[in-house]
Amino acid sequence: MIDFATYGMYLAAMLFCLGLAIMIVKRNMIFVLIGVELILNAANLNMVIFSRNDPNLGGQIFTIFSIVIAAAEVTVALAIALNVYKYYKTSDLDEVNELKH
């Protein structure tokens, strides 16, 4: 009997750390958003794994809420990224370094 849950948790931990590393390393706005998506997916994967032990499916229901929140987050983030690009003419986060309007 292979312990699926533990391997799934290792993968979730790995996705979380990869997302964190991507958020720190990459200089592009879109790359940082992709890192955020990976972190949210790691959290959802953990919730689904533990939902297997719950006859009320609490983890799975909250995964669906979390997916909807992620969709809302990425929509607003892209709208902001679009405005930042329009103003600074670059998507490099190192060059977006002044708050002046």
Partner 1 sequence: MTPIDVAFFFFLIVTGLAGIGILLTRNVIHAAMLLVIVLLGVAGLYVLFRAEFAAVVQVLIYAGGIVVLIAFGVMLTNRPENGKLMTGNHLVLPALLVSSGLFYYLVQGIQLLDPIATQQVAKLPEDQVEYIGAAFMTDYIVAFELIAFILLVVLVGAAYLAKHHSRL
Exactly one of 43, 53, 97, 98 binds partner 1 (CB under 8 A); that residue is 53
Q: Taking the complex as a whole, how short is the minimal distance between the CB of residue 98 and partner 1, in angstroms? A: 14
Do 20 and 35 meet the contact criterion of CB atoms below 8 Å apart? yes
Helix 29-51 vs helix 4-25: crossing angle, to nearest 10: 160
Residue 52 sits at the vertex; the CA angle it makes with 64 and 4, to the nearest 5 degrees, is 110
Exactly one of 76, 97, 98, 99 binds partner 1 (CB under 8 A); that residue is 76
Q: Taking the complex as a whole, how short is the minimal distance between the CB of residue 99 and partner 1, in angstroms? A: 13
| Tokens of residue 68, six digits | 């909807």
Measured distance CA(101)–CA(53) in Å, rounded: 52
98 closest CA partner among 79, 84, 82, 83: 84
Q: Verify binding: residue 83, partner 1, rule CB under 8 A.
A: yes
Q: Verify binding: residue 2, partner 1, rule CB under 8 A.
A: yes
Q: Verify binding: residue 51, partner 1, rule CB under 8 A.
A: yes
Q: According to CB under 8 A, which residues from 21 to 50 bind partner 1?
A: 21-22, 24-31, 33-34, 37-38, 41, 44-45, 48-49
